[in-house]
Every structure is written in structure tokens, then in C-alpha cells.
Amino acid sequence: MVAILEELGIEYSLQIREDKSNVCRIRIIKDKMDKRIKQSNIIKKIEIFGIDNEYVYDLETENHHFCGGIGNVLLHNTDSLFLKNPSPTAIDEVAVWAHNNLGVDLEIDKQYRYVVFSELKKNYLGVLADGTVDVKGLTGKKSHTPPFIRNAFYDILAILGKVNSEKDFESARESIKNVILENAKNLEARKIPLDDLSFNVTINKSLKTYGKKTGAKTMDGKNADTYKGLPQHIKAANMLVDKGRELRAGDVISYVKTKSGEGVKPVELAKPEEIDTEKYLETMESTFEQVLSALNFDFKSVLGKPRQQKLDELFWSKQVS
């Protein structure tokens, strides 16, 4: 229902009934200034509390509910606590303390053989006792990631899933480097098929509602409107429309990054020599760096290229000198 309202551009409010926590109420808003409508952008209360340096604080709503994602799905915030090799007694002590002092009930969710954390919040991978690799928030797992990058990512996970000792881990690091090197070389040699280079993204609404019209220009002898703020998959979709294709919300657009003026082309209109390999290397870096940072690797160093220092590294190096 919410997705339909979003598509139609209808204002609405979404609430949870106090007497029935599993029942949601949707109200259509005809007048935004109606005093009976709770204004979402009004700060109702600011609560000042003492800060204790022993804790990490997270701002959230009073009832821990919030809406997010496509369709404003109703969500509930949760978090995890990682413990390294705790004894059963220690786990029980932590659970009892959390219940008595914080009113929080803790239970064991998963037991990992080992865990690799990235530098980003809530981005990590863990290997379970049976070798299954559990991935949280890492972009290599995302469905829109080009297949050749996603396949390489899962090859890396398979390598990590076989690690049982510190010696295995060192061997795995070298195998992971080889996976990245091989894919980068195939990319630069243009040996990867266009379908494996494609980003596959769904059109969520009418094409006419994307971007802001800024004028018109002539392309391939035809007059075409120009827009700003268009997502890349919509730019590619418009090229297909210009070729006579009918597209609507829900259709999936497969496009590749090119050196053309728009920077993208639909897979069926692109040629291998048009591929912008540097852009794909950047995508590989952003995907693999989340894992490589935990393995003490740098993507550019793996490829034998000069490593660019991060801002904090530049700052501290100047402080030391």
C-alpha cells in the first residue's frame, strides 16, 4: 500500500496503534497544514542525559521504530555485541548483568569460527563452524553489483570459508590477491563479456518523474530534452526509449559504464571498446576494499599501483614531522 502511495505521489502518515503493536494505521493527508496531522519535522522533546565514556551512544526513536527503504518499510532497530572466545559462565554473567542493569535480554545469535570487520559500521563477514560465510552490509553481495565483481567476491568468500588456522589464513590472503589481480587484468584486456559488466537496476517509478528538465539538445540528428539529477540507470533507460523501447516502473535496466558523453549505455547498445575500465576498477576497489582493509591489504597496492594516502594519514604524518 505504501509503495502505491509513493508511486502516486500522495502524502500520507504511517502510525502504530498503541493498543495493538502489530497493527499499522495509514492516513491520507489532503491538507499538510491540518492541525490534526502530526508534523514529522517538529522536534517535540530534547532529553539531556549524562555521557559516560564507557559506552557508545546511538540516537534512535523512543519506541525504536523507524521507516526506511523503498516503500518506507516499518523497521525496528537492533544491534549486536561480539565476544571473543567467552566461556559459558562469562556469557551467563553478561546476560544477567544486562538484564538486571539495563533491562535488556541478550541471547546467543551465532557462533563464528572467526570474523573479519571492515572499517565501516555494520559491515563485516563471519565464518561459521560449518564454513558458511555470513556477510553483513558488504556491497559485493548487492544484487546490482556487476556479475564479474560479484562472482569474484564470492570466490573470495569461498577462500575465507576454508580457513581453519593462522597458516591457512596467510595462504588465503595470497589466493585472494590472485583473484583480484586476475579479474583486473581481464578487465583491462577487455576480455570480460558485456553482460558480466552490467549493472542491473530496477526502475521504481515513471521515467518522466526522474530528474529536472533543463533544456534541449541535438543527439544523433534528433532533438532531445536534457535533464539534471538523472540516475545512471535512467540515462540508459532513456536511450532505449529513444530507440523505440517501451519501459515502465518495475522494469530492470542493464547498463555498462562507458567513456561516452553520458557515461553509461544500455548493454544492448554498447561495444567492448567503449567500456570505461577505470570506472570498473573504482567499483572493484569500493567493493573489495571493505574486505581487504580487514586483511591488511590495499586495493591499489595489490594491483601494483601507487597507493593514495587517506586524509587522516596525511594529517598525522604532518603532525609527526
Residue pLDDT, tens place only, 279-318: 999 999 988 887 887 777 888 988 987 666 554 454 445 5
The ranges of the chain with pLDDT < 70 are 16-18, 20-22, 31-79, 118-123, 137-142, 214-227, 306-321
State how far the Cα of 158 lies from the Cα of 162, in Å rounded to an integer: 7
What pLDDT was estimated at residue 316? 46
DSSP assigned state of 119 = S
What pLDDT was estimated at residue 236? 94
State how far the Cα of 75 lies from the Cα of 66, in Å rounded to an integer: 5
CA distances from 132 to 86, 137, 280 (A): 21, 16, 28
Give per-residue burial for 262-272: e unless 16+ CB within 10 Å, then b: eebbbbebbee
Q: Which domains does the chain have, with CATH numbers?
A: 1-79 (no CATH), 112-190+278-320 (no CATH), 195-274 (3.40.1820.20)
What pLDDT was estimated at residue 175? 95
The predicted model scores a pTM of 0.63
